[in-house]
Amino acid sequence: MIEFINVSKKYNHDVAALEDINVKIEKGEFVFLVGPSGSGKSTFLKLMVKEDEVTTGTVIVNNTNINKLKEKDIPFLRRKIGFVFQDFRLLYDRTVAENIIFALRVVEASEKDIKFQVKAVLELVGLSGKENFYPNQLSGGEQQRISLARALATKPPIIIADEPTGNLDPKTANEIFKTLLDINARGTTILVVTHAKDIVDGLNKRVIALDHGKIVRDDARGGYLK
């Protein structure tokens, strides 16, 4: 589903943000990407959605070599990946339902699909009945659920969550991860960048650790530190 082959990325002439990365994530996996700040996690994500270009190597997403992707095809790559951000990135002048409809409009979904999907994803993330609330009327955890619902609405085969619980309390964080596991159980590949040690340790899933732009650990079942 996601494959990095000999990938290096240099921003300046000498500093390598990522160096010789080789990693393969299969369809339906749940993977944690961990590491200290500046270890290359963000660069890893940016290369996946082609916000940045690799310096050398190949990135394959959903059976497509995205190095060769033309600029006009980038939107279609991104439709295969649902993004969840630490700061939610919601539209605060639109209701919960409208935030999700917004995503469906972008992918030019039909009117029928929009109606169906809004109801389905809100149910999935546990926000049924909150359609007409504005994000600011809801808690941080609920706002992250909107963001999750928005990512899911377009039915992407991959979900990337960049510190999804960074701004949330532990209890709410646990609930968000429970939802992510639910989504994973339905076959969606999930990649989570996180510093939430307890959660990583508790879930015992695959862990890829980055440090100074290199993979220092890739355990099929592991914890945050080991």
Partner 1 sequence: MTTNTYLIKEGYDNLKKHGSKTLSTMLIICATMIVLGIFIILLQNVNKNVETVKNEQGFQAFIDDASTETEIEYIKDRIKLIAGIKGIKYIDKDMAFEDAKSVFKDQEYLLDGLQKVKPFPASFIITFNDINEASIIKAAVEKVDGITKVKYNETTIQAVITISKIANIFLLGLGSIMLIISMFIISNTIKLAVYSNKREIYIMKYIGATNTFIRKPFIVEGAIMGLLSALLSFVLISVTYVVVYARLPKVGTSLGIFGFMPYSQLWYQILGIFIIIGLFIGVVGSAISIRKYLKV
Only one residue has tokens 């539209």, namely 91
Nearest distance, CB of residue 83 and partner 1, angstroms = 5
Nearest distance, CB of residue 55 and partner 1, angstroms = 19
Nearest distance, CB of residue 75 and partner 1, angstroms = 4
CB count, 10 Å around CB of 63?
A: 8
Helix (H) or strand (E) run with residue 157 in it: none
Q: Which is nearer to partner 1, 153 or 209 (CB)?
A: 153
CA dist 68 → 57, 59, 65, 93, 148 (Å): 12, 10, 6, 38, 29
Nearest to 35, CA basis, from 53, 47, 17: 17
Most distant CA atoms of the chain, gap in Å: 53
Contact 5, 24 (CB under 8 A): no
Q: Which is nearer to partner 1, 60 or 107 (CB)?
A: 107
Nearest distance, CB of residue 211 and partner 1, angstroms = 27
Q: Which is nearer to partner 1, 91 or 185 (CB)?
A: 91
Q: Which is nearer to partner 1, 14 or 111 (CB)?
A: 111
Contact 182, 127 (CB under 8 A): no
Number of H helices and number of E strands within the chain?
7, 10
Q: Which is nearer to partner 1, 51 or 198 (CB)?
A: 51
The phi and psi torsions of 96 (rounded to 5 degrees) equal -55, -50
The one-letter amino acid at 81: I
Nearest distance, CB of residue 156 and partner 1, angstroms = 9
Instruction: By CB under 8 A, name the binding residues for partner 1.
Output: 49, 51, 72, 75-79, 83, 89, 91, 102-103, 105-108, 111, 150, 154
Nearest distance, CB of residue 180 and partner 1, angstroms = 18
Q: Which is nearer to partner 1, 64 or 174 (CB)?
A: 64
Q: Which is nearer to partner 1, 80 or 205 (CB)?
A: 80
Nearest distance, CB of residue 77 and partner 1, angstroms = 8
* DSSP SS3 for 103: helix
Helix (H) or strand (E) run with residue 208 in it: strand 206-211
